[in-house]
Amino acid sequence: MQMKMAIRSRLSRALTAVGALGLVVAAGHAASATERYMATGLPFFDPYRIAIASLDIDGGKVSGTLAPPAGDPRAALPVSGTIADGVLHLTIGSGAEAYTLAFTQNERGLHRIWEETAVVPGIDAVSLFRPAAGFSEPALALQHDADNWCGGLYGGLNVSLRAGDLVAQQAAPAGLADLDVIVEPQQGGSAKVKLKDLWGRLRLAARSGDDVTVDIAVPPGTEAKMAQDIRRVPQVVAVDLPGVCGETALAVVPRAKVADGGKVSDAKLKAYADTVLARLLSGAAPEGTAPGARKFKIQSSSVAPGDGGQLVYRANVTGEAEATRLGKGSWDQYTLTLTPLVTATDAADTISFLPQVSDLKAAKKAGPQAPADSAFKPVDDSEMVAGITQRLVSWLAATEGTRCVFLTRVPFDEPEGSLSCANIAIDEAQLPDEN
């Protein structure tokens, strides 16, 4: 299977905000509210590669804590220090178990970052980073493990179970028994099996002495809470984002455009989705507000609770292929579902739109007007679906000056002149190489 990862950074607005915030803190050292950073290179909460640093800078003095991801029962460590002349000195821990490090400020990708003033070759560097608006709660609760950057961003978790506890316990504990484990049946594809029904097989695997990991499916939007609950189970070593690769598409938008406070508004969501979808289908450029000249129809648009309880936008769409997926010579008709969720890729002021295209039909183009509904015939073409999804998330991210993620196993080549996605994980301080 071919996986296409399109990468292009659209970060000028984000960098401007990050840079402005960094200058204020570095130059003024004024009192500020506690800021939460992700920290890498600190081996206190193995096997997590991320620790959560909560820092309060007040008049040049720094205080705070360093903690594991939410739900992990290990105690936080005290953090203290000073900031002067652009250098942040931090002491982590206390007494004989204290460690002192020095950092200077920088900006990289989406983040304001503190990195060690000097790095020893061969030793992992320590860095602390955060986006300008801070992290969302799911971003702080969920990270990829140290080796995997391919897994899903929503709808699943990776759970590591302690080998000794598996071997010693005859039945799955209550906090794990009803989790849906993703398996691969002999006939191919994938399926879900309750963890309690696999417990004997996992115990057998644990006899090697190695911890056992499984990917589980969870309702989209529940990942952070589920991770925190599962981490409290004594037999669990760690909970991360999934390790299995899969289809992923999302576009990040400002949360205030579809939500009031922390809650998605049905009126705001419908108005926003109707507006941006109309501009996309009209063939409008992402920049500006002027509509394009192409014909389209948006029918039966509505907002209602989805299977997981979150609000979902649905509409029946008819548009020219040149607008829907940069295709040629046809019209597309399909049902579009947009689910707004705060995912592990979101900052405190953003939300992600997860699109789904279903009931795809097509008709030949014979003029500027849309064909009658009877002219559209069902199409079973995963590449067409991928094209519609890629166009939607990349166009929306370009409109908002944010970012999108588009990863697919479908052999999909971006059309000439298409927009691309910036595949930047919010829990990583390094920008990926561009290609």
* pLDDT per residue as tens digits for the range 255-270: 999 999 889 999 999 9
Element (H, E) at 429: none
User: Rounded CA gap, 144 and 429, in Å?
Assistant: 13
pLDDT > 90? residue 79: yes
Cis status, amide bond into 219, omega within 30 of 0: no
Comparing 200 with 427, the larger pLDDT belongs to 200
> Coil, helix or strand for 396?
helix
Alpha helix stretches (DSSP H) within 401-425: none
Q: Could you count the other beta carbons within 10 Å of the beta carbon of residue 306?
A: 17
Mean pLDDT, residues 68-86 taken together: 95
The DSSP code sequence of 128-185 is EEEETT-B-HHHHH----SS---B-SSSEEEEEE-HHHHHH-SS--HHHHT-EEEE--
Pick from 209, 222, 220, 225: which is nearest to 69 by CA?
Answer: 225
The chain-wide mean pLDDT, for the chain, equals 86
State what percent of residues in the chain have pLDDT above 70. Answer: 88
What's the pLDDT band for 288 if we cut at 50, 70, 90? Answer: confident
Confidence bin at 149 (pLDDT 50/70/90): low
* Residue 373 DSSP one-character state: G
Question: What's the predicted TM-score (pTM) here?
Answer: 0.84
Place 312 in a pLDDT band, splitting at 50, 70 and 90.
Answer: very high
399: DSSP letter: H
Strand order in the sheet with 180-183: 191-194, 180-183, 212-217, 156-161, 236-240
Say whether 210 sits in a helix, a strand or coil: coil
Q: Do 272 and 257 touch, CB atoms closer than 8 A?
A: yes
Give the pLDDT of residue 100. Answer: 96
Query: For 234-255, what is each residue's pLDDT tens digit?
Result: 999 999 988 776 788 999 999 9
Q: What is the mean pLDDT of residues 382-386?
A: 94
What pLDDT, on a 0 to 100 scale, did the predictor assign at position 30? Answer: 46
pLDDT at 262: 81
What is the pLDDT averaged over residues 321-334? 94
Residue 385 DSSP label = H
pLDDT-derived band at 369 (thresholds 50, 70, 90) equals confident
Instruction: Choose the weakest-confidence range: 55-69, 210-224, 239-253, 340-354.
Output: 239-253
Band of residue 42 on the pLDDT scale cut at 50, 70, 90: very high
What was the pLDDT predicted at 148? 61
- Determine contact, residues 73/231, Cβ cutoff 8 Å: yes
Query: Average of pLDDT values for 5-9?
Result: 31
Within 13 Å, how many C-alpha atoms sit on residue 352's CB side? 24
Q: Three-state SS for 304?
A: strand
Least confident of 39-53, 175-189, 220-234: 175-189
* CA-wise closest residue to 7 among 430, 429, 428, 422: 422
What is the pairing mode between strands 404-408 and 4-5?
antiparallel
Report the pLDDT value the prediction gives residue 132, as an integer from 0 to 100. 87
The pLDDT, as a whole number, for residue 19 is: 34
Q: How far apart are the C-alpha atoms of 348 and 336, rounded to whole Å?
A: 27
Q: pLDDT tens digit string along 411-426? A: 888 888 899 887 666 7
Residue 417: the pLDDT is 86
CB 301 within 8 A of CB 273: yes
